Amino acid sequence: MAFEASQAKPTQSIHSSTEKGVTLNQQARAAAFRCLYWLMKNEIPHTTNYKSILDLCKEQVLNNLHKGDNDKGESQRFIQEAVLTMGNLVQRPLLNDLRASPWYSIMVDETTDVAVVKDLIVYARSLKDGKSCTEFMTVLHLSSGTADAILESLTNFLREIDLPLEKMCAIGSDGAAVMVGRQNGVSTQLRRQVPHLLSNHCVAHRLALAVGQASKGVPYLQKFKDILGQLHRFYANSAVRMDGLRQIQDLQNDPVLKLSQAKDVRWLSHDKATQTLKLCLPSVIASLEREAKERNDSQAMGLAVFVQTYKFLLTLSMMCDILPHMSALSKAMQAKDAIFTTVKPLVHSTLSLLRQLREEPVENMKKAPALITSL
């Protein structure tokens, strides 16, 4: 009996140690999953950040996360499978809220990814506790960009997640013909199945289109926009030029800024582009003149002359006064909890501010004469 007792103790000890080790490894694995879940919830790219945040945690607390030959806990395949599984868990309460809502609406937008594949981004808005909630739903791959293909992909998705079309009250889009066309647009075909459906053209997109079309009525503004684009490309396409600009910014104690690209499809980009150029204009002029003198760059000389004309400087000052109001209006329209009935008062208040600017110049236009004489 004594021999049997003496043999039992080491066996129990080994079993206990093994069980403890397995438990610690499971706890560490669960903690690793929570790291991945946190990245997903905060919409942080997991493909580039999961490994680094896991390494940091292992240095601090996840010492029991062993890496064996068969451990696939950090492989890209495992991460993608885990993301898909967690995605379903994250999406489940959102779907429950959508199904419980008396009505829901969707917002869709077409895009093309880096693999040149057409996709449809889908957001949904529902009512919860008397408040509207907007959530990202999915990205649907499209076989083509036709209205029929979009409609088929969208309705199949709604059917898969058990959302009845009858409860859809509105659809928002970018106003493209494929979405709102009178004959066979996506919203037109949906209304044949859901007669009460409302089709809305995104108000922020309409604002961007209106501003872009209004600027076409002033020929010089087109030239001004072209110069902004040329300035951006002049530095963006050359690391040597960009480094030279940074050196001059340091010497002149100007803000070390990178010139922004102004594009009509990026709704707030013109505001950022003009504000950035205004802040570092002396450095930009000095950089262009140096490029023209030292490298005999004719483009740099042309840009240096053009940006010092009084007409360009006055336009830049004017745009720096006007565009912040347009950006504020656009941001208000894009707010997550924006209410459609507030759009009209916001537009009228912005128009009132713009009329005041026409009658009484403010900050940048008041400083424009001093800016012109200083260059």
DSSP class per residue in 18-72: HHHHHHHHHHHHHHHHHHHHHHHHTT--HHHHHHHHHHHHHHHT-TT----TT--
Kindly tell me if the per-residue pLDDT of 162 is higher than 60: yes
Q: Is the pLDDT of residue 65 over 70?
A: no
User: Which range is most confident: 150-154, 203-207, 258-262?
Assistant: 150-154
Q: Quick check: 105 and 202 in contact, CB under 8 A?
A: no
pLDDT tier at 296 (50, 70, 90 boundaries)? very high
Average pLDDT over residues 218-239: 92
What does the mean pLDDT of the chain come to? 83
Global pTM reads 0.69
* Mean pLDDT on 298-308: 94
Q: Where are the chain's structural domains?
A: 11-91, 101-200, 207-374
pLDDT reading at 79 higher than 80: no
Quote the CA–CA distance of 124 and 138 in Å, as a whole number.
10
How far apart CA 124 and CA 28 sit, in angstroms, is: 36
What's the burial of 53, exposed, middle or buried (CB within 10 Å: 0-12/13-18/19+)?
Answer: middle
Write the single-letter amino acid at 34.
Answer: R
Higher pLDDT, 238 or 14: 238
Fold of the 101-200 domain: Nucleotidyltransferase; domain 5 (3.30.420)
Q: Tell me what pLDDT residue 53 has.
A: 78
Contact criterion met (CB below 8 Å) for 136 and 149: no
Do 171 and 106 touch, CB atoms closer than 8 A? yes
